[in-house]
Structure formats: C-alpha cells, structure tokens
Structure 1
Amino acid sequence: MKTELALHDQQFTLHRFPKRANETLQAWDAGDEYIINHFVENPLRPGSKILILNDNFGALSCWFSQDYDVYLQSDSLISQKGALKNLQRNQCNKVEFLRSIDTIPNDIDAVILQIPKSNRFLTWQLHQIRQLLPENTPVVAVNKANAIHASTLKLFEQHLGETSTSLAWKKHRLVFSRSNSQTIKEVDAKTCWLVPEHDMHLCNLANVYSGESLDLGARFVLEHLPSNFKYKKIIDLGCGNGVLSIKLGRNNPESTITSVDESFMAVESARANVEANVSNPQRFTFVANNCLDGFEASSHDLIVCNPPFHQQNTVTDHIAWQMFTDAHKVLEDGGKLLVIGNSHLGYPTKLSRLFGADKVKVMANNKKFSIVSAEKASRKSIK
C-alpha cells in the first residue's frame, strides 16, 4: 500500500484515518491526482482562496495549501481528522476547517469538489455555491467516470450553470462548471416525513442516510429495543437521524442517552429530531466523534449500534470492528451491546471474538437483517 504521493517534484506522506498497521487502502486516488494535474497546467494566482469540498483524507488540502489559502468543508469528522493529521505530518500551511453545517465564505476564488455519493448532498452543496459565491466562480469537480451520469451533469447545470466534462483519465473524469445560471433554484435544507406507526415526525439534513423514509434496518430494530428502567446510561452509536435515540428515550424514561455519529449533519439531525419527538430532550447529549474515542471505560450499560459497511465510497468492515471494540471497552460489567446489520455480514462471529461465544446471541432476524446481542462478562466471572 502506497503512502507517498509524488507528483510534479512534490512529495507528501499520506495515511487514512484512523491509521492502521495493516492498512491496505491508500489515502488518495487517481481523482486527486487528476485535479492536481489540472491546476498545475492551469494555475490560479498565488494566494487565491480555494474551497475544497469533501477532501477524503486531506491529499488535496496538503497539495493546494502550498500556494493558496485553503478552506476545507466536509460532513465527515473522520475525514477532517485525517486531513489534519496529514497536514501536520507534512508540515503544511494552515487550512481552515468547516463543518458541512457551517456557512461557506463568500469571497472564494475557485471550488474543488469531490463529488459525493449522495445526490441530495451534491444538490445542497451546488446550491450553496450558487447562492453564496460570486457569479462565475469556477468549480472543478471529480469522480470515477462511471459514476458521472447524464443526471449528475444535469444537477450541475440546474443548480450552477454552464457545465462541461474532461476526457477520462485513469477511470476518472473532471467536471467543469461556473455559477452563472440565470435563476437560483431553491433547495430545502431538510427532508421531512412522518413515521405514523411510531408517532414520529423526522427531518434529515442533506447527507443523512435514508433521506425520505425510514430505512428497513431501523424499522426492524425499533421493534426490539429494550423498554424498562434497568438501563441508566445509553449510547446510540452511529445515530444517523436519531430515530433509535428517540425510541430509546421513550422506552427508558430514566436514562441519559448520548447520540454519536461521525457525520455533522447526522448529529444535527438527531438533535433536532429528539427535540421534536421527545418530551424531555435535556437527557440527551449529541456528539460528533470517531466511534467512542475519549469515552470513559466501563461507563455505560447499554450501547445500540447500526454500523456502516463503507467509508466514503470504499466498502470496509474496519469501522464496525472499531465500534465493537470501543463498545466492549465502554460498557460496564454486564452491560449489553445491541447490533443491527445485514445477516450476511457475520456479526455474531465477530462479536464472539470480543465478548465470548456464550455471551453473544441472535435476538431476532428476518430475510435481510439480524439483531445481535452481546453482553460484557464481569471480571469476577472471567477469573
């Protein structure tokens, strides 16, 4: 696995975040290289202000901070932590970090955009560019060629203006656009809908998973969340829009609940949804975090987890494994972890490695999903 990005007589040491000893994936791709090559051939004036959107681990931020004032906006706390580590590792110039829920500066000279997987999020970002930046601000976007469809280009044309594409290079393509459309299309910041069977009204910001309805995994696990006075300190790990936090709060009225996600938009959506659907939201805390970094060991008695199986556009199970290991550490003796996931992912086997096979059981399953319970053994029983 390469860790040295060497282009045009410049070299950077880059790692994904969190850094793993057995990492097999690079911290940059050919799309990053294509963007860099384009600006080497078509440089901006030194000191120009560049807004970089969705820089996965900071490769673009490291490169462009040499000659330009860089603002990096991302919805991913993990991406921002990775970018910061790589900037520090390579002693780069300072970069201004912005969350996806922050307003972008209005004096940007050019925008570099890693096209996100979600069209709703892409639409929101294009809308922000057109609404807040000067007319004719150039935008250079990149993605794999097979992911840039006619519908993708139509979004650029509708929400920005004049749009064209490059030739494909190493299976990637650039999109060139300018914010010069005659009218600014209105885009709602939130998508809202009802879940009548659970008496909920939910709203998602643009980059929150399952933006227009309750996803099937959440719908299944809602029927199996504990409901009693036993649990006092609960974590909803990977909280998304907070639907499980709401149900946990209603089911366990004397508990305190911490809703955790690495997506800034997810955390803010969860906060708003809890406030709209729970009578005593002061019991809740909302945290953007890398899994359970910084949480006290043996401090909680229930953790509910809906793990992702991808990081940005890469399929991987290392985030789920980190969630499980962090949960084992943070649970008190006798504490319980509930995991919802696709049945084929083999979570019972993975959890047995941490908790012991006799402490793991499948609570419920259907044709697609399994709900797995893992109890942390007491240290006395281990002895």
Structure 2
Amino acid sequence: MEILSSPFGQFQLSRFPKRKREQLRAWDAADEYILQQIDEESLLRPTPGKTLILNDQFGALAVSMHQFQPEVISDSWLAHAGIQANLADNQLPQEQVPLHSSLDYPAEKFDLVLLKVPKSLAMLEDQLIRLRPLLHTNSRVIAGGMAKAIHTSTLKLFEKYLGPTTTSLARKKARLIFPQIGEGLAPIDSPYPSRYMLEGTRYQIINHAGVFSRDSLDIGSRFFLRHLPSSDQYKNIIDLGCGNGVIGLMAAQNNPGAHIDFVDESFMAVASAKENFEAAFGAERSATFTATDCLSGLAKNRYDLVLNNPPFHQQNAVGDFIALQMFRESHQALRKDGELWVIGNRHLGYHLRLKKLFGNCDTVASNKKFIILKARKQ
C-alpha cells in the first residue's frame, strides 16, 4: 500500500485485488495531473457543483475527492471493488461515492467531469455519446491519460461529440485533454451495441462497446469453438472471462442439459453475454450472468467444466498473473474429475502452470498460433 499525495490530502491506495509483493501503483501520472489541474483552476471552490468521474481505476480520483461526493462510472467490477476497498482503508464512508456501471449512467447534469481515457476508442466513443446529454454549456470536462495513449483519433472523438478540443503540455509523460462544450448537446444515435452473424450458425451476436473483438469473431475463439467438448457429464459449465458469451453459448448448444455460468469483470461483457444467450435460447434455457473478479463468489467443488480464454491484461497492467489466478480459482470451483479447458498462444507456456497446479495437462488441439489444453481435477 502506497501513499498518494494530492492537493486534497494524503491517501493510502492499493490495487485490487491485493497481491503480495505488488510492484504496481494504484494510480498513474495522469491521475496526479488531473488532481493538480483541478486545484490550479480552483474548480471546486467556492462551490463544488456536481462532479462525475469516468474510468477511475482504483480510486485515485474518487478517494481524493470524496468530500465533494463525486459519482463514478466504470465498466470494471474490479474498479468498483477497488474504490470501495480504498475508501474503507482510509476510513471514508462508501456512500459518499455512488458507483454506476458503464450501462447505468445518471440522468442529471454535471458541472465537472473527469475522464481517464480508456484504451478502446469504441469505449471512449460510447462514453462521450452517453455523456453529451449530461453536460451544460458551462460544464468543465478534463480528460487525462498517458501521452503515448492519446492519439489524433482520440482528440477527434472529443471534437466530434463535445466540441473544440485542446491539450496540455506533457507532465511525467501524462497529458490532459480540454474539450470546450458546444451549444445544445442533444442526445444522438449511437452505433453501439454492434452486431454480427456468428459464422456457421443462425445466431446474431450483440456486442457492447467495451467488449473484446467487437466486430467479428477473433481467431482464438474461432479455433476454440471447433473443439468444444460435448458430454452428458457436463451439468454445470463456466464460461470464464466470457466476453460476449460466444464460447458459453456454443457450449450450451453442444451440451443441451447443462447450466452455463457466464463470468467476466466487465459489466458490458456480461450484459452482451446475457443478451446473446437470451436471443439464442429464449425461455428454453436458464443461465447465470455474473460480474466479478475471476470466480470470486462462485461455489467451490461444484462445476464439471470451465472454459477459459485468459486475457493478457487487467486494467492497464500486462502479464500472466490474471491467467494464473483464473487457473487457481478454476481448480477450486471444479468438482473431482471436473475439467478446465484453456486456449492460449503457444508461446505462453500455460501447460507448465496447469500441470503444476492440477498434476496433469493434455493437449486437445493446436495450430501454428494457438493451443487448447485440458486439465482434470484429481
């Protein structure tokens, strides 16, 4: 746990979930820059007005500004949990910071909006479209991110949806974006969610803006779908890191007697999976849809099959730690003789991790790029 020193006080902040020997901070230079800019412009004095924060990762902005009761929007269940945990660690009341998902925007107007620029341009576009009707002519919007992640295409979106846009000088490799709010920002039609037909099926796949591989089936999932198992022994199946739910949807088709649990830390992913499953099966099949951290909150020693295409990153941190957490928690969730099926790039060496954890690991299929592995709980 490290100390963030901001113009609004000093706060203990941790990444979430907390890990031993954590090497990464719970904030970046863009968070610091935004907080400094607010103070330099005296934007919260003498009267703070209503404040909205988008994409705060672990609470650097929300915790620092808790006294002004900002509302927070994020697509990340982990961000919500991290903000609440950091408020608690600083003995601050959680009710001072109302949290919203990326599909549950408040309806009122805001005087100050702080936005951490997301990695996905589609996500940014969706957020700016949803933000438009929440602004008035005198609303102040400050967006921030690391300079390497702010491109001409980023600025064009701000100009298209909010108004003329300028940027700050870089500080500690971070940069701020200042859109000037145009007159009469009425709601406009959004291109999201997007849709495509799942090849070889009758299913139309719905994808909210924050979902990976939004416009077509990615090549890893395409390979995985060709080798999904089918057996009467699979009564309870988890699509872990479900994204739009294509893997779980086809697992449901292959295993008509199974109940599917769709799990992801993205609210938009879980919503997409739910819409896709219900569109495919209607009231004929039931399933469970959960936004959480890996398998947190799901039953242990219950499931027959976990299907998993692990991500390479959590928030902006890249590494295999999230995959390893998924493997460990899958082992806990599976009943005896239950199976974990994993697809990954060949070079990642997942087979070594799975063999160490499960005591076994078999190759189901492979090609030049991907390998599908199966581990059985003994």
Task: Sort the TM-score into its range (normalised by shorter chain).
Answer: over 0.9
Q: Distance in 2 between matches of 1:9 and 1:257?
A: 46
Tell me which amino acid in the other structure corresponds to 2:92. C
Q: Residue 132 of structure 2 contacts residue 162 of structure 2 at CA under 8 Å; is this kept in 1?
A: yes
What stretches of structure 1 move > 3 A for 4+ residues in a row?
181-185, 279-282
Q: Residue 133 of structure 2 contacts residue 185 of structure 2 at CA under 8 Å; is this kept in 1?
A: no
Q: How does 1:196-345 map to 2 (within 5 A)?
A: 196-278=199-281, 280=283, 282-345=285-348
The 1:59/1:152 distance shift into structure 2, 3 A limit, reads: same
In the TM superposition, what is the alpha-carbon distance from 1:182 to its structure 2 partner? 6.0
Q: CA RMSD in A?
A: 1.5
Deviations 1:105-159 (A, max 9, x none): 3221111000001101100101111133323422100111122111111110001
Match of 2:250, SS? helix
Match of 1:260, SS? strand
Q: Distance in 2 between matches of 1:271 and 1:255?
A: 16
Q: Residue 303 of structure 2 contacts residue 334 of structure 2 at CA under 8 Å; is this kept in 1?
A: yes
Match of 1:217, SS? helix
Match of 1:5, SS? strand
Q: Residue 55 of structure 2 contacts residue 74 of structure 2 at CA under 8 Å; is this kept in 1?
A: yes
Structure 2 residue runs of 5 or longer lacking an equivalent are: none
Deviations 1:222-266 (A, max 9, x none): 011111222101111001001011101100001111100010000
Q: Residue 113 of structure 1 contacts residue 141 of structure 1 at CA under 8 Å; is this kept in 2?
A: yes
2:78 is equivalent to residue 75 of structure 1: no
Q: Percent identity?
A: 46
Q: Residue 255 of structure 1 contacts residue 283 of structure 1 at CA under 8 Å; is this kept in 2?
A: no
Q: Distance in 2 between matches of 1:352 and 1:198?
A: 35
In the TM superposition, what is the alpha-carbon distance from 1:10 to its structure 2 partner? 2.1
2:50 aligned partner:
49
Name which of 167, 170, 182 aligns with 1:168.
Answer: 170
Match of 1:196, SS? coil
In the TM superposition, what is the alpha-carbon distance from 1:80 to its structure 2 partner? 0.8
Deviations 1:14-42 (A, max 9, x none): 10000011211110011110011101111
Tell me which amino acid in the other structure corresponds to 1:112. L
Match of 1:187, SS? coil
In the TM superposition, what is the alpha-carbon distance from 1:71 to its structure 2 partner? 0.4
In the TM superposition, what is the alpha-carbon distance from 1:364 to its structure 2 partner? 1.0
In the TM superposition, what is the alpha-carbon distance from 1:316 to its structure 2 partner? 2.0
Q: Residue 111 of structure 2 contacts residue 138 of structure 2 at CA under 8 Å; is this kept in 1?
A: no
Q: Greater shift after overlay, 328-337 or 274-283?
A: 274-283
Q: Distance in 2 between matches of 1:136 and 1:196?
A: 48
Deviations 1:345-371 (A, max 9, x none): 111011112101xx2012111121111
Q: Distance in 1 between matches of 2:283 and 2:229?
A: 19
The 1:9/1:154 distance shift into structure 2, 3 A limit, reads: closer
Output the TM-score relative to the length of structure 1. Answer: 0.94
Output the TM-score relative to the length of structure 2. Answer: 0.95
2:104 aligned partner:
102
